[in-house]
Structure 1
Amino acid sequence: MEHQIIVAGIGPGHPDFVLPAARAAIESAQVLVGGSRALEDFAHSGQETMTIRGDIDAVLSFIKEKIQKTQVVVMVSGDPGYYSLLDALRREFSLHTLVVIPGVSSLQMAFSRLALPWHGARLASFHGRVPQAAELAYQEGALLGLLTDRVNNSRTISAQLIALGWPPDAELHICSRLSYEDEAIVHTTLGEASSAPEISHGVLVVKA
């Protein structure tokens, strides 16, 4: 008999931004799956754990074995609905097995820090991928929220947007380490950022 897989969003980083429902599921889990930082923050003695690294197939095999006997809680950063392990879980397990608890995404956090409504924003991820040009196209009044990584960072993405027709004086807000004590937000422009030292692993908010 298969038990449920609870996919719990753990927010942008700091434990204060984990929803009570997610925290309760994590604390009561017999089997807990997550990244090394998440397990360090939330796992406790008595729980069986599996660290998510590069081998996703190994993680899925572990979950498949464990749900024969007990519920499994899978922690994912941000919100599970936006570029997380949820895609792989949906391909591998039946939908009635999955229970998803939403989390605060780093994109939500970035827009909130700027007191900027994001209902009209286009969202895209450069985290391990490159969006299509149409996702990034310039329009007057356009608003972008972008996830970055080490390769696709504040400098390279700014240059790419300028090449796609964005004006160099477009507003750029570089948000890093959101929710942590060393959180930093740099207010600049695409033109300035395209020649400045890169800032990686964060959120870019671009406003035309």
Structure 2
Amino acid sequence: MEHTYRVVVVGIGPGSPDYILPVASRTIAGAKVLVGSKRALDTFGTPNQVTRIIDKDIKGVLDFIECHLASQDVVVLVSGDPGFYSMLAALRGHFAAERIKVIPGISSVQLAFARLAEVWQDASLISMHGRKAADDVLRYRPGHKLGILTDTQHNPSHIAGILLAQGWPDNACVWLCSNLSYDNEVVAALTLAETTGTPGFEHSVMVVKA
């Protein structure tokens, strides 16, 4: 019976190897073909592995995976958890579900809420990393809680302005979490009004609580 090779999507957590599951570490160490961001490959790759950086040429990445999948499993590294705004969406659009195995990881949003000792079961978790969020998610209502992935354009200052326009109070609590799990981790506590004048914190997690 012919063996069916699979794409193994591994969540590598927020970045530090301390926050990666043992099964993920074993899978990465045993991989012959490894695909991931440059930082992920620099952190977890070894010289004897065939590697491909995930860049803007997503079709090229998918073609590379498909080519190597004919003879072996291909391990794809994604930041955080694969089920939360990752390369998994593109892989599911290209490969059948039975050809994909997913090993979960800890998302940066999950770690941000942990740093605050806050539950996130009642939060709206959204990404504004390269995308907009629906008004009904951003609109203020008492007790509302948000976990937001930011980017260069949709940085916390910009997002704070949007939330104020959506009726959030000036004194709503905001936490800006960057470089989570790294030695230079920062968790800054501000009000929403203060956040409008706060630069930086691009590619971070913004937690907002009414």
* TM-score after normalising by structure 1: 0.98
Q: What letter corresponds to residue 82 of structure 1 in structure 2?
A: F
1:139-184 superposed Cα distances (whole Å, 9 cap, x missing partner): 1011100000111111000011000111111000000110000100
**Secondary structure at 2:162 match in 1:** helix
Question: What does residue 122 of structure 1 align with?
Answer: 124
Q: Distance in 1 between matches of 2:96 and 2:200?
A: 42
Question: What does residue 189 of structure 2 align with?
Answer: 187
Q: Distance in 1 between matches of 2:56 and 2:81?
A: 20
Q: Distance in 1 between matches of 2:93 and 2:191?
A: 40
Q: What letter corresponds to residue 123 of structure 2 in structure 1?
A: A
Question: What does residue 201 of structure 1 align with?
Answer: 203
Question: What does residue 77 of structure 1 align with?
Answer: 79
What root-mean-square deviation, in Å, do the aligned CA atoms of Structure 1 and Structure 2 show? 0.9
Q: Using the aligned pairs only, state the percent identity.
A: 47
1:134: how far off?
A: 1.1
How many residue pairs get matched? Answer: 208
- The 5 Å alignment of 1:27-176 reads 27-176=29-178
1:196: how far off?
A: 2.6
1:126: how far off?
A: 0.6
The runs of 5 or more residues in structure 1 that have no matched partner are none
1:46: how far off?
A: 1.2
1:178 lines up with 2:180 in the alignment: yes
Question: What does residue 17 of structure 2 align with?
Answer: 15
Q: Distance in 2 between matches of 1:160 and 1:204?
A: 13
* TM-score after normalising by structure 2: 0.97
Q: Distance in 2 between matches of 1:26 and 1:175?
A: 27
The runs of 5 or more residues in structure 2 that have no matched partner are none
Q: Distance in 2 between matches of 1:45 and 1:55?
A: 23
1:198: how far off?
A: 3.4
